[in-house]
Structure 1
Amino acid sequence: MEYKEIMDSLKAGEYKPVYFLHGAEAYFMDSIADYIERHLLEESQKAFNQTVLYGRDLPSAQPLIDAARRYPMMAERQLIILREAQELKDLATLSKYVEQPMDSTVLVILHKHKRLDLRSGLAKALKKSPKVVLFESKKLYDNQIAGWIEQEVRRRGLLILPEAAELMAEYLGTDLSRIAGELEKLALNLPKGKTIDQAAIERYVGISREYNPFELQKALARGEREKVWRIVEYFRANPRTAPMQLVVASLYGFYSKLLKFLALRQMSERDLLQALGLRSTYFLREYREAARRYGRRDVERAIALLQEYDLKSKGVGFNSSAPGAQGELLRELVWKLLFVRHLV
Structure 2
Amino acid sequence: DVTSAESVVSMASAFPLMSEHRVVSVKNFEKYFSGRGSKKTEEKSPFAKYFQSPQPSTLLILRSTASELNGLSGAMGNSKQSEKGQKKLASLKFPYNVLLEKAACLEFPKVYERDVPSWIARRLKEKGREISPEAAEFLTAKVGTSLRELNNEIEKILIFLQNKKKITDEDISAVVGDSRVYNVFELQKAIGSRDLPKALDIMFHMIAAEKQEILIISMLTRYFIVLWKLSEAAQQTKNHYELSRTVGISSFFIPEYLGALQRFSLNQLNNAFFALRDADLKIKSSNLPADVILQQCFISIVSP
**TM-score for the superposition, normalised by structure 2:** 0.47
Greater helix content: 2
The structure with the largest alpha-carbon Rg is 2
User: Which structure has the highest strand share of the two?
Assistant: 1
